[in-house]
Amino acid sequence: MPTYIVLLGPPGVGKGTQAKILAETASLPHISSGDLFRENIKNETELGKLAQSYMNKGELVPDDVTIGMIRARLSQPDCVNGALLDGFPRTSVQADALEKLLAEFGGSVNHVPYITAAEPVLVERLGGRWTCRANGHVFHEKHNPPKQAGACDLDGSELYQRDDDKSETVHRRIQVYFGQTAPLIEYYRQRGLLTEINGAQAIEKVTADLLAVIKK
């Protein structure tokens, strides 16, 4: 049977980094809903055009469109043994839809690692990020500071702070995530699939804890 992992975690917890490591170690494709949207829109697929039409009107893309993209991706040969899902589902309604979809592929969600950390830790990580204008290289004022303040080590271009990395925006992003995701966390907890991972630890320790969950 295929193995399907749903990876959860708020902004700034390091989920993207861990997703890549986990997918590679478990030999599963990493399916990011954000990447799927961008690829479908860029390639002007029928689902991409449909999604874009809603986005152009400032409306949320309906669940069935997103599920359609997930179904198409899971149908690819590299997903025969399962996949690591990142960014979907976001609600318990989407989780129900995902279960029905995975049943079509002879499987179901096996593991739901939830990487979490206290809000001050998340705010510090996100609020300290600075990006270079030329090539998007990312620095952090505490964990990865540039050699010269305000300038990229790699190309010398100006470093700036993106709007979504500014303190007031960061607080809002985190609060929105926890508010929207709380029912989903409970959904998977009640089904005995959720395992909380301390995301405030060193990257290597978080990775080790994630791999322990998968092996278990």
Supply 36's token pair. 């799927």
As a whole number, mean pLDDT of residues 67-85 equals: 95
Q: Is 162 a catalytic residue?
A: yes
- Tens digit of pLDDT for each residue in 116-167? 999 999 998 888 989 999 998 999 998 899 999 999 999 999 999 988 888 8
Lowest-confidence region among 35-39, 74-78, 108-112, 163-167 = 163-167
Q: By the 8 A CB rule, do 3 and 110 touch?
A: yes
Residue 71 annotated to the active site: no
Q: Do 17 and 203 meet the contact criterion of CB atoms below 8 Å apart? A: yes
Task: Give the whole-number percent of the chain exceeding pLDDT 90.
Answer: 68
The domains found in the chain, sorted by start residue, are: 3-29+76-130+169-215 (3.40.50.300)
For the chain, what percent of residues have pLDDT higher than 70? 100
CA distances to 38, 50, 86, 90, 201 from 41, rounded to whole Å, are 5, 9, 18, 20, 36
pLDDT in tens, 165-203: 888 888 888 998 888 889 999 999 999 999 999 999 988
Q: Is the pLDDT of residue 46 over 90?
A: yes
Structure tokens belonging to residue 63 = 């669940």
- The more confidently predicted of residues 60 and 118 is 118
Q: Is 173 a catalytic residue?
A: yes
Q: pLDDT category, 30, cuts 50, 70, 90?
A: very high
pLDDT given for residue 215 in this prediction: 83
Look up 90 and say whether it is catalytic. yes
Catalytic residue among 20, 71, 90, 166: 90
73 is catalytic: no
Q: Which of 100, 162, 172, 205 is catalytic?
A: 162
